[in-house]
């Protein structure tokens, strides 16, 4: 799993590749905790290259969402594969997260 960060006009864009599962969730959380601690309150997570998310991955994303929201921040998810999007729909997390089809749409929505 790899996470790349790009700052774009006050928006932190994280591009994640690989699976978000029990093994990688701690690294994902650590990466986002750095952004939250640095007071980055506009965050986009691009999941284009994520093929699989397990329950611990979902829990990590929910925790990131709650931590950002508690600081007045906003989180947008983008480029979900059909499989990952289906998981969000089955768990009803598509109602919690702001999910946009493309990264440019997520950035423009701030």
CATH of 2-108, one of 3.30.750.24, 3.20.20.70, 3.30.390.50, 1.10.3720.10: 3.30.750.24
Instruction: Show pLDDT as tens, one digit a residue, over the chain (110 residues).
Output: 899 999 998 999 999 999 999 999 999 999 888 878 887 889 999 999 999 999 999 999 999 999 999 989 999 999 999 999 999 999 999 999 999 999 999 999 99
Q: Give residue limits of the domains in the chain.
A: 2-108
**What was the pLDDT predicted at 33?**
87
Residues of the chain by 3-state class (helix, strand, coil), percent to 5: 40, 30, 30
pTM: 0.93
Tokens coding 41: 């309150």
Q: Any bridge partners for residue 12, and if so which?
A: 7, 43
Q: 70 and 101 in contact (C-beta within 8 Å)?
A: no
């Amino acid at each position: 799993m790899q996470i790349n960060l790009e700052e774009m006009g006050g928006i932190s864009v994280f591009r994640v590749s690989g699976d978000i599962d029990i093994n990688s969730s701690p690294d994902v959380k650590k990466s986002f905790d750095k952004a939250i601690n640095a007071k980055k309150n506009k965050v986009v997570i691009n999941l284009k290259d994520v093929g699989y998310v397990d329950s611990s991955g979902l829990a990590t994303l929910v925790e990131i969402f709650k931590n950002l929201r508690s600081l007045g921040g906003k989180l947008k998810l983008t480029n979900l594969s059909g499989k990952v999007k289906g998981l969000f729909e089955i768990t009803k997390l598509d109602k919690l997260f702001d999910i946009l089809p493309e990264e440019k749409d997520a950035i423009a929505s701030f």
